[in-house]
Amino acid sequence: MYRISNNEVDYILDDIKRRGVELEDLQFNLLDHVCCIIEQEKPDGTDFYKFYEDIIVRFYEKELKEIEVETNNLLTFKNYYAMKRIMKIMGLLTALMMLVGAIFKLMHWQGAGVIMISGFVLFAVVFLPLLVVLKSKDSVELKDKLLFAFGTLIGIAASAGVMFKLMHWPLANILMFSSQALFILVYIPMYFILKIRNPGEKFNVMMNSILMLGAGALIFSLMSVSSSNGIDQSLYAIDSFLNKNVTELVASNQRYYNNLDDSGEDKVRAKHELSQQLMQEISDINTFLISQVEGVHIDQARTMKVKDLRNPKNTFVVNGFSGGSYEYSLKKLVAKVDEYNNKVGNLIGKPIDLNSVQLTRTNIALFIHQMTQIQLQIAVNEQSLFMEENNLTVLK
C-alpha cells in the first residue's frame, strides 16, 4: 500500500480548491476519497502526480466543480417535494377561492372582496412563483426558463389587474391592458418562434399558440364590457337638462331679488346668503373632484360638465372624498347642509335630506348628477321662500 506524504495531501487539497470546489466539507470528503484511491489502487513505481491526474477525471464529466453544483442543487431543492405539494394545494385553493369569490360578487353577498383578494394574492404571490421555481428546475434549456419566467410575470400582472379592476382600485386598466398587450404581442410570438423549431412538438405548439391567441382575444374583448353607450348618453342628457333648469331657476330667483325693495331685501338677505353659500360649496366640491379625476387645472375643471369628462366612471376620487381634506370633504358638506336646514330648509318644511342621496361608493358622473339635484332643491326652496314672503300658497 502506498503511503501518501503530507506534501502530497497539500497538493491534492490545493488542486481541489483550484478546480473550484468551495464547500469545505466537500473539499475534505474529496481529499480523503482521492487519498484512499491512491493508497489502495496506485501500482508500485508509477508517478504520484501522473496517477492523480488519471484518477481525478473519474470524478466528473467536464469539471470537478460539477459535484459542488450538484450538491448545492440537492441542498436547495431539499424541499422540492414539499414545494410541489404546496404548489398543488395552493393552485386548487386559489382557483376555488376565485370561483367562490366570483359567485359571492355576482350575488352581492358579504365577503366577496376578501375571498377574491385572498385568492388573487395567493395565486400571484405563492402559486405562480413556486411554479416558476419548480418548472425552471425541470426544464434544462435557458430559453425555456426565460420564456416561462416571462409568462409568469405577465400572469402576475394580469391577475393583479383583474383584482384591481374588481376592487375598483386605480391603475387597474393600465395593468390589465399592458399585460394583455404583452401576452398577445410578445409572449405568444416568442413562444411560437422558440418552440416551433422542435419538430416533435410542431403540432402542439401551433395548437397552443392558436388557443392562447383565442383566449387572449376573448379576455381583451371582455375588458371593454361596461354599461352601454346609450345609457351613458341618456345620463349626460338628463344632466344637461337638469343643469339648464337649475340655471334658469337661479336666474329667475335673482330677478326677484333685484326687484325687491329695501325692506324685503333685509328680511330675506340672510337666508339668501345661506342658499348662495351652499350652492357655491357644491360647485366648489364638483370642480375640485373633476380636476382630480381629469388631472386638469381648477379653472378648466370649472367649465366642465358630466358629458365633458374623459373618466366619468372613476370611483376612486369620489370614494376618497369622504376621507380627504376638510376643505372639500363630505364632513364639511354635511355641516353646511345642516346649517342650511336649520336656518332655511326647516322653515319651509323642505330640508335637504342627504340620506336620500348616495355620495360615496359611486362614480364621478353620478356624484355630480346628485349634487346638481341638491342645487335644484336649493333653488326651488328659495322660490318657495319668496312665495311665503309674499303670502302666496306654498306647496308643502
Query: Toward another protein, which CB reaches closer, 139 or 342?
Result: 139
Selected from 16, 67, 285, 374, the binder of another protein by CB under 8 A is 67
Segment near another protein (CB under 8 A), from 3-11, 339-347, 353-361, 371-379? 3-11
Q: From residue 293, how far is each of 204, 234, 240, 319, 373 by CA, in Å?
A: 47, 21, 20, 12, 21
Identify the CA nearest to 75 among candidates 125, 26, 144.
26
158 within 8 A of 180, measured Cβ to Cβ? yes
| Contact call for residue 6 and another protein (CB under 8 A) | yes
Query: Which phi and psi angles does 188 have, rounded to 5°?
Result: -60, -50
Taking the complex as a whole, how short is the minimal distance between the CB of residue 52 and another protein, in angstroms?
14
Taking the complex as a whole, how short is the minimal distance between the CB of residue 205 and another protein, in angstroms?
26
Query: Toward another protein, which CB reaches closer, 26 or 376?
Result: 26
| Contact call for residue 83 and another protein (CB under 8 A) | no
Pinpoint the alpha helices (H) of 167-310: 172-182, 188-196, 202-223, 229-259, 262-294, 298-302
| Contact call for residue 373 and another protein (CB under 8 A) | no
Selected from 71, 136, 178, 311, the binder of another protein by CB under 8 A is 71
Query: Toward another protein, which CB reaches closer, 1 or 392?
Result: 1
CA angle 205, 210, 212 (to 5 degrees): 95
Query: Toward another protein, which CB reaches closer, 78 or 310?
Result: 78
- Give the number of residues in contact with another protein, rule: CB under 8 A: 29
| Contact call for residue 81 and another protein (CB under 8 A) | no
Interhelix angle 364-389/262-294, rounded to 10 degrees, is 180
Taking residue 309's Cβ as centre, other Cβ atoms within 10 Å add up to 19
Query: Toward another protein, which CB reaches closer, 35 or 149?
Result: 35
Give the span between the Cα atoms of 338 and 364, in whole angstroms.
24
Give the span between the Cα atoms of 310 and 188, in whole angstroms.
32
315 within 8 A of 363, measured Cβ to Cβ? yes
Taking the complex as a whole, how short is the minimal distance between the CB of residue 36 and another protein, in angstroms?
4
Q: Is 45 left (phi over 0), alpha (psi -120 to 50) or beta?
A: left
Query: Toward another protein, which CB reaches closer, 67 or 128?
Result: 67
Give the span between the Cα atoms of 394 and 392, in whole angstroms.
6
Query: Toward another protein, which CB reaches closer, 78 or 269?
Result: 78
Cell numbers describing residue 130: 413556486
Q: Side chain identity at 272, as an amino acid letter?
A: H
**Residues 281 to 310 in contact with another protein, rule: CB under 8 A:** none
| Contact call for residue 10 and another protein (CB under 8 A) | yes
Contact code string over 168-207 relative to another protein, x by CB under 8 A? ----------------------------------------
Selected from 11, 48, 51, 66, the binder of another protein by CB under 8 A is 66
Q: Side chain identity at 368, as an amino acid letter?
A: I
Contact code string over 19-38 relative to another protein, x by CB under 8 A? ----x-xx-xxxxxx-xxx-
| Contact call for residue 219 and another protein (CB under 8 A) | no
CA angle 335, 339, 344 (to 5 degrees): 145
Q: From residue 374, how far is each of 138, 249, 359, 361, 381 by CA, in Å?
A: 65, 13, 11, 18, 10
Query: Toward another protein, which CB reaches closer, 133 or 149?
Result: 133
Query: Toward another protein, which CB reaches closer, 31 or 182?
Result: 31
Q: Side chain identity at 105, as an amino acid letter?
A: K
Taking residue 123's Cβ as centre, other Cβ atoms within 10 Å add up to 23
Taking the complex as a whole, how short is the minimal distance between the CB of residue 157 and another protein, in angstroms?
36
| Contact call for residue 59 and another protein (CB under 8 A) | yes
Contact code string over 338-357 relative to another protein, x by CB under 8 A? --------------------
Length in residues, the chain = 396
Taking the complex as a whole, how short is the minimal distance between the CB of residue 59 and another protein, in angstroms?
5
Rg (CA), the chain: 38
Selected from 49, 60, 109, 177, the binder of another protein by CB under 8 A is 60
Percentages of the chain per state (helix, strand, coil), in multiples of 5: 80, 0, 20
Selected from 22, 53, 70, 273, the binder of another protein by CB under 8 A is 70
Contact positions toward another protein, by CB under 8 A?
6, 9-10, 13, 23, 25-26, 28-33, 35-37, 40, 58-61, 66-67, 70-71, 73-75, 78
